[in-house]
Every structure is written in C-alpha cells, then in structure tokens.
Chains A and B, each alone.
Chain A
Amino acid sequence: MKYLRFLLIGILFGIILTKSEAVSWYRIFEMFKFQSFHMYGIIGTAVLFSMCFMYFFKKGIIKNYLGNKILVKQKPKEYKRALIGGTIFGLGWALAGACPAPIFTLLGNGVVSILIVLLGSLIGTFIYGLLSNKLPK
C-alpha cells in the first residue's frame, strides 16, 4: 500500500499516546491543576528533542527521504487568532480531556462516546469555516 508508512507512524503515535497516559482525561485535569509533572515532562521532552531535530533540519544535516532539505512551514504571524483560538481550544481540551490526536486514539481504546467529541469538533471546524473571513486575525 502506498501510504503504509503513514499507517505505521499513526500506529506508533497511537501506542505512545496511550502508554504515556496522555490520552487520559485525568492526566489533563492533573496538568491544569499543576498537581503533576507528568504531562509537562512529556511535552517538554518532546519539544526539547524536536528542537534538536529542527536544528539538524535547518543545518541540512538531516535531509528528507528524497534527499531534499527539510523546510518547516511557518505559522502566519497572526497573534489575535493564536490567542483567541488557542484559548477556545484550551477550554475544550480541558473539558474533553483530549486534543485532536487522542480523540482518534481513544476510539481505539474502546471509548466509543468520544465519537460525540469528534462530531462536535467537526461541527466546530465547520462553524470556523463559515466565519473565517469575519474573525479578527
């Protein structure tokens, strides 16, 4: 299959998210209550090692599978949307205890009701699509 590699990366990521307990609602609650280092450790370590990779990408020491330089897409310098959108996402992240990747992984964990969160997130995306031209950037 053409995209087998992305299936395998997804499986790997799903296993990591489950085994690290990052898919757990309780771990997200604990994080926002500052009662555990666990989630900060995960995100912090991920960012730290990713920084090393970014450095190697930038210097051209690591190239992609075609041998080309790896370029990281730059986010638009629009700060209002980052802050407002980020805050709205934060509300949902804490309430559902899941961000987008764990929504799918929780389904594999047998949490069927997460489909309602998924449905909600598609509705939310749809509402954003309708309003995207009218919102402050």
Chain B
Amino acid sequence: MNYLLEPWPWYASGFLIAIVLFLFFYFGRNFGVSTNLETLCTISGANKFSDYFKKDWKERDWALVFLIGLVIGGFIASNYLSNQVPIDLNPKTITELNELGFANAGNTIVPDELFDLKNVFTPKGILILLIAGICIGFGTRYAGGCTSGHAITGLSSLQLPSLIAVIGFFIGGLVMVWLIFPLLFS
C-alpha cells in the first residue's frame, strides 16, 4: 500500500492519463476539459448575451458529472492517499522561488503567498488569480483546447493545430515565468 501513498512517478502517471483518454474514447466521447468552461457559461445564462453560448448543455450533462468526479478525486487523493511529504523540487527551483518571495516552496501543494485566503483578499492577490483565470478561459476557448484536448489528444493523433497550440502554451508560460514573474514578485 505504501507506494500508493508516495507521490507517483512520472511514467506511471503518464501511463494512467493515457488510460483516462482511452476510457473517454471507449465510452464514445472526446478527451478534453476546457469545453466544460463553455458549458458552465451556458448554464450560468451566457446564452442570453451571445449566440456562441446558445447550445444545449444537456448534451454535455455527462461532462458535468465528470467535473464533480475531478473534485472528489482530489479530495480522496489528498485525504486518504497521501503521506503529506513535501514536493521533491529541484533545490535550484526552491532557491529561485525564495528570491521571488516564496518561502517553504514544495511544503504545500500550492504556495500560501498566492492561495492562502489572507493573501488572496488583497487587491494584488485577487487580481492575480482572477487575471490568471481569465487568460485560462479566454485562451483555451480561443485555442480550441487545453492540455488534455490539444497537448494529449491532439499531439497523440498528430494534429498540426495542436502542435501550434502547444508551442503557444510554452511561449505564454515562458514569458510569464521568465519575464513577468520577476516584475510581479520580488
């Protein structure tokens, strides 16, 4: 049982993600998560403002059940399948994060500096999370997919638009971490 409680190695995790993709296709669906953001918008009433959201969300009700599963899975893993060891980060990463003002890097799943409620409810704190979310929502819908739809489904089925999108993911990620982080934190 112990190996289940340890963090899982990358090769086991990658293989299991491919199994998830297989299960999606086996049960007659495409593997992708960001389309659900659209479905959630439609349910919230976005169809009153734009034809783009005039879709029958009931055709995607199965996917909402999947989202609930994602939440439950996170709960089970963190409460029953974890021995709470720190994340085994590169020491260089920890030093660099320290210089950016992130203490105790890897001791928690996400940094308190960004996600602890007392830091979230400051103007800077709330704007960072909100703007990050806006980029995720706008970007994935414009690109037509996220890590699951483009990086995993698209690359593995050799689709050129997905390769271009993944190159975009990295341009954005590298600009954020190498150029914007030093301005934003320090």
Contact = CB atoms under 8 A, between A and B. Distances in A.
Tier of interface size on chain B:
35 or more
B183 interface: no
21 contacts: A10-B72, A11-B70, A12-B19, A21-B7, A27-B89, A33-B177, A47-B155, A65-B26, A81-B142, A86-B150, A90-B173, A91-B135, A92-B132, A100-B36, A107-B74, A108-B70, A117-B136, A120-B130, A120-B134, A129-B38, A129-B52
B144 A24 contact: no
Given A6-B27, A108-B72, 18 more contacts: A13-B69, A14-B72, A29-B93, A48-B18, A51-B157, A83-B164, A83-B168, A86-B166, A89-B135, A93-B169, A100-B34, A106-B110, A108-B74, A110-B78, A111-B110, A117-B133, A124-B134, A129-B41
A25 B110 contact: yes
Given A10-B72, A46-B14, A89 B93 contact: no
Task: Classify chain A: how many residues form its interface, as a range.
Answer: 35 or more
B69 A9 contact: yes
B144 to A, nearest CB: 6
A136 B169 CA distance: 18
Contact of A95 (B33, B149, B169, B176): B176
The residue among B34, B105, B134 with the most chain A CB atoms within 10 A of its own CB is B134
A81 B132 CA distance: 19
A28 B174 CA distance: 11
Nearest to B144: A75
Interface of A: 2-3, 5-33, 35-39, 41-54, 57, 62, 64-66, 68, 70, 72-79, 81-101, 103-114, 116-130, 132, 135
A57 B18 CA distance: 13
Interface of B: 4, 7-8, 10-28, 30, 33-34, 36-38, 40-41, 44, 46, 49-50, 52-53, 61-63, 65-78, 81-82, 87, 89-90, 92-93, 96-97, 105-106, 109-111, 114-117, 120, 126, 128-162, 164-178, 180
B90 A36 contact: yes
Given A26-B111, A45-B14, A49-B18, A36 B93 contact: yes
Interface centre among B153, B158, B161 (most CB of A within 10 A): B161
Given A66-B28, A82-B144, A88-B135, A17 B73 contact: yes
